[in-house]
A and B are shown apart, each in its own frame.
Chain A
Amino acid sequence: MSQTVLDVRNLEAGYEPGVPIVRGASITVDKGEIVVVLGPNGAGKSTLIKAIAGLVPITGGTVLLDGRDITAAPAHTMVRLGLAFVPQTENIFALMSVEDNLKVACGILKPRETPARIEEMYAAFPDLARQRKTAAGNLSGGQRQMLAVARALIVHPKVLVLDEPSAGLSPKFVSMVFEMLAGIRIPGVTILLVEQNAKAALAIGDRAYVLVEGKDRHEGVASELWNDPVVAELYLGQRRLDPEGDRHSGKAGAA
């Protein structure tokens, strides 16, 4: 039987009191699943997962991780609780080496197991292994995302939460990043991701939610959602579901 890892119920969250951006969103992520949150610009997708990660004040609802209430947990305790978050931008320490970026995230591991764990990440991401001494800011866009994901995975999270991993990347890197994310599934990592690039995300996802005006309005199996007329209507209004069209909107969806 599938076991629920992340259970978000009727979440309300926003940056300012009285101005909720997420308005009663409910999503669940089962163990080993890749769940995608889609939605038009300004739907509150990024705010939703930032709130889950403890970065945006939550005004209502609950977040359960493996049955444990983490709604009020401060952001810096999330990795210890088992939730690793990868922000959309500025998700690496640009002036530190690749290796130090990984090491600095190992604070919750035992010092003795840290070197072996770093080697495991290098084995999973050979591109990073070749550039361990390089300042992270000098990596390519795709490699930066790789480093950010490796840094999040290094602490054995129960769930990996990603905010638009394809944002700001050229098409070549977008496919590289999604291939990488699809590859992570093998060791049984659970992933929740928000994405503008619907086509690429649905291709690797198991299930998907469509978020509109801060509320989950539709849910379905990822492979079927692509041709679901309800989604096209919710997601785009008049426009057709077209990933090329999405890319213009870019960062505007971050809020």
Chain B
Amino acid sequence: MNLQFVVDGLLAGSMIGLGAIGVTLTYSILRFSNFAHGDFMAWGAYATLAVVGAIGAMFGTVAPMAPLSFGWPLVAAVVVGMAITGLLALLLDMVLFARLRAKGQAIIVVMASFGASMALRSLLEFIFTSRPTYFSRAIQIAMPVGFGIRITPDQIALLLLTAVLVLGVHLLMTRTQTGRSMQALSQNAALARIVGIDVAKVVRVTWIVGGALACVAGVMIGILIQVRPFMGFDMLLPMFAAAILGGIGSVPGAVLGGLIIGMAEAGAVQLIGAEWRAAVSFIILMTVLFVRPIGLFGVRER
């Protein structure tokens, strides 16, 4: 048994987990499954790629920050990409979801998110074609770190970035007034208004946080694998499985769920074959729904 699956699993788990945070927040605060969340990832990756291109056009070629495969333009571009993706999520809510939410039927909003997902994806194919593209074509040499595990500097940097972001979101949720308002809204929307919480404002923050994290997840996929319009859509099942496994509404749960699913996928590839990879999230999702539908950190509604 080769322990390399641990690194692969952590990386896959980070991407899934960052996406699942957005899914779980949207689900608990806005009370619908947003199937367009994966496409926020793809949009984030393309937006970041476009900004990298724009920076390249303005400043010429910038040397990568050794030993990483990318330089400061990518770092700057991710920040801009996060803002763009957050605003995209906000815009989509304004023109589509908010109006349908007002009608009070969650299933209509879910269906609309399917439609939005297709539209967003097709728009990417229209603008950027469906041919895969890359942040960098440079080949990185993976360093051995013992126990038969190899890891590249990019992978280390991205794992650290994930840890920082997850910690940041956790602190936002538990230590700030905005975070407490988000918790309050997810637990009891009527009471949240009574205690003076501006629901519209909290909803905006939720979209921006979810969109920004989806962008980072998309860029991670882009750096480690490739950028293509379907990249986010393909993450939907593992993301929802992670959010449900962790317990809807729980940020730490979504991340842990993501890591478990990432590990399970990577382990399955090694043990029973790559063709089973996609089945893993499905099996985990079904098992959770049968055995413990509230997930790891979920709490029964009172």
Q: Is the CB of A137 within 8 A of B302?
A: yes
Q: Is the CB of B196 within 8 A of A76?
A: yes
Please name all residues of chain A whose beta carbon is closer than 8 Å to the beta carbon of B180 when the two chains form the complex.
96, 100, 103-104
Interface residues as binary, A27-68 with B (CB distance below 8 Å gives 1, 0 otherwise): 000000000000000000000000001010000000000000
B300 to chain A, nearest CB (A): 10
Please name all residues of chain B whose beta carbon is closer than 8 Å to the beta carbon of A21 when the two chains form the complex.
none
In the assembled complex, the Cα of A106 lies from the Cα of B193 at a distance in Å of: 13
Given known A85-B194, A108-B196, contact A103–B177 (CB-CB < 8 A) = yes
In the assembled complex, the Cα of A55 lies from the Cα of B299 at a distance in Å of: 28
Please name all residues of chain B whose beta carbon is closer than 8 Å to the beta carbon of A106 when the two chains form the complex.
177
Q: Is the CB of A87 within 8 A of B190?
A: yes
Is the CB of B198 closer than 8 A to any CB of chain A? yes
Interface residues as binary, B194-208 with A (CB distance below 8 Å gives 1, 0 otherwise): 111111000000000
B34 to chain A, nearest CB (A): 22
Q: Which residue of A lies closest to B299 (CB)?
A: A95
Interface residues as binary, B158-191 with A (CB distance below 8 Å gives 1, 0 otherwise): 0000000000000000000100110110011011
Is the CB of A118 closer than 8 A to any CB of chain B? no
Partner pick for B181 among A79, A104, A108, CB 8 A cutoff: A104
Is the CB of A170 closer than 8 A to any CB of chain B? no
Please name all residues of chain A whose beta carbon is closer than 8 Å to the beta carbon of B187 when the two chains form the complex.
93-96
Q: Is the CB of A104 within 8 A of B194?
A: no
Q: Is the CB of A78 within 8 A of B302?
A: no
Q: Is the CB of A76 within 8 A of B193?
A: yes
Q: Is the CB of B183 within 8 A of A95?
A: yes
B28 to chain A, nearest CB (A): 11
Q: Is the CB of A107 within 8 A of B191?
A: no
The A-B contact count (CB < 8 A) is 69
Please name all residues of chain A whose beta carbon is closer than 8 Å to the beta carbon of B188 when the two chains form the complex.
90, 93-94
A18 to chain B, nearest CB (A): 19
Q: Please provide the chain A residues from 100 to 134 with a CB less than 8 Å away from any CB of chain B in the complex.
A: 100, 103-108, 111
Q: Is the CB of B196 within 8 A of A55?
A: no
How many residues on A have C-beta within 8 angstroms of the other chain's C-beta atoms?
29
Q: Which residue of A lies closest to B198 (CB)?
A: A76
Q: Is the CB of A87 within 8 A of B191?
A: yes
Chain B, interface SS category: helix
Q: Is the CB of B183 within 8 A of A151?
A: no
Q: Which residue of A lies closest to B249 (CB)?
A: A95
Q: Is the CB of B197 within 8 A of A107?
A: yes
Please name all residues of chain A whose beta carbon is closer than 8 Å to the beta carbon of B195 when the two chains form the complex.
79, 104-105, 107, 151
B96 to chain A, nearest CB (A): 23
Q: Is the CB of A94 within 8 A of B302?
A: yes
Q: Is the CB of B193 within 8 A of A100?
A: no
Please name all residues of chain B whose beta carbon is closer than 8 Å to the beta carbon of A240 when the two chains form the complex.
none
Q: Is the CB of B190 within 8 A of A104?
A: no
Please name all residues of chain B whose beta carbon is closer than 8 Å to the beta carbon of A92 when the two chains form the complex.
191
A117 to chain B, nearest CB (A): 14
Please name all residues of chain A whose beta carbon is closer than 8 Å to the beta carbon of B197 when the two chains form the complex.
76, 104, 107
In the assembled complex, the Cα of A104 lies from the Cα of B186 at a distance in Å of: 13
Is the CB of A180 closer than 8 A to any CB of chain B? no
Partner pick for B193 among A75, A80, A93, CB 8 A cutoff: A75
Please name all residues of chain A whose beta carbon is closer than 8 Å to the beta carbon of B183 when the two chains form the complex.
93, 95-96, 100, 104
Please name all residues of chain B whose beta carbon is closer than 8 Å to the beta carbon of A78 when the two chains form the complex.
194, 196
In the assembled complex, the Cα of A151 lies from the Cα of B190 at a distance in Å of: 15
B79 to chain A, nearest CB (A): 27
Give residues in B with beta carbon < 8 Å to A: 177, 180-181, 183-184, 187-188, 190-199, 299, 302
Q: A76-B199, A78-B194, A96-B183 are in contact. List 7 more A-B contacts (CB 8 A).
A: A55-B190, A77-B196, A94-B187, A95-B187, A107-B195, A107-B197, A108-B196
